[in-house]
Amino acid sequence: MIKEILFSLKDISFSYKDKKVLRGLNLDIEKGVFTGIIGPNGSGKSTLIRIMAGFLTPEEGTVLFKGQDIKKYHVKDLARDIAVLPQSMDVFYPYKVEDFIAIARYPHLQWSFSNAKKDSDFIAFIMEIMEISYLKDRRITELSQGEAQRVFIAQCIVQDPMVILLDEPVSHFDIKYQMKTLEILDSFNKEGMTVVVVLHDLNLASEFCKKIVLISEGAIYKEGEPNEVLTYENIEDVYKTVVVVKENPISGKPYIIPISKRYL
């Protein structure tokens, strides 16, 4: 079966001032695939997400979305198809949480009572599964980091995009909400939403991502299924730390155990 390519990045290079962040990167993101982007700090993961979202323009190379140069899309058309959660968000206006999430429906806005009711029901449903219904009348500027992050993720899902790009979405969560959030994203992925997520936790990437892209020094070091990418040789070479890779006895996926130098 021929797989549909949603994003095609060709020879992408990008620099911040004199620092080269991405170097001739080539990557295809297939429609409907839960894709994880991993790599050390400073390897270019966040920059890659921002380029895919159209927030940054590469100095060299082309980003194709659904076969067309992403620069040719109108911003509202992109917003219908792509939802983005950057690594950090600053919200200064004290929106009520429910109103802030509802902003995500703007690209799909149709002026009718029935559509407004559908939007309202959908927002309520997403708030419930994200366990933030109790926050609906709170001001977003008054939330904890973890609460705010759940609201930001809910807003992305409420946007009902074709693809969702998330940069470290579970970094502020305890293990309960890390698992719950990725399970929610996995359920939407199974319904057809393409998910691209930057993760630092290699074990979470292993469990949830069908495809993993390992980036090192601005280029793709290895991409493929978890068992192809998450080998001790690849991890030790890229992260410069000793690990043991075992098989998770429940899922059969690779499980990574970092080893302290004191044991070597």
- CATH number of the domain to which 196 belongs: 3.40.50.300
Output the pLDDT for position 115: 58
The answer to whether the beta carbons of residues 7 and 25 sit under 8 Å apart is: no
Look at the chain and report how many structural domains it folds into.
1
Query: Token pair for residue 65?
Result: 């979305």
Please state the pTM of the whole predicted model. Answer: 0.93
Output the pLDDT for position 17: 87
Residues 6+ apart with CB under 8 A from 260: none
Output the pLDDT for position 112: 43
Output the pLDDT for position 181: 97
Output the pLDDT for position 113: 43
Integer Cα distance of 97 and 1 in angstroms:
43
Integer Cα distance of 164 and 29 in angstroms:
12
The answer to whether the beta carbons of residues 238 and 39 sit under 8 Å apart is: yes
* Distances from the Cα of 116 to the Cα of 83, 91, 151, 187, angstroms: 20, 25, 20, 25
Q: Which domain holds residue 238?
A: 5-263
What is the average pLDDT score of the chain? Answer: 93
Output the pLDDT for position 144: 93
pLDDT digits (tens, 9 = 90+) for 6-32: 999 999 999 998 899 999 999 999 999
Low-confidence residues in the chain, pLDDT < 50 = 111-114
Q: What is the DSSP string of 190-208?
A: HTT-EEEEE-S-HHHHHHH
Output the pLDDT for position 186: 98
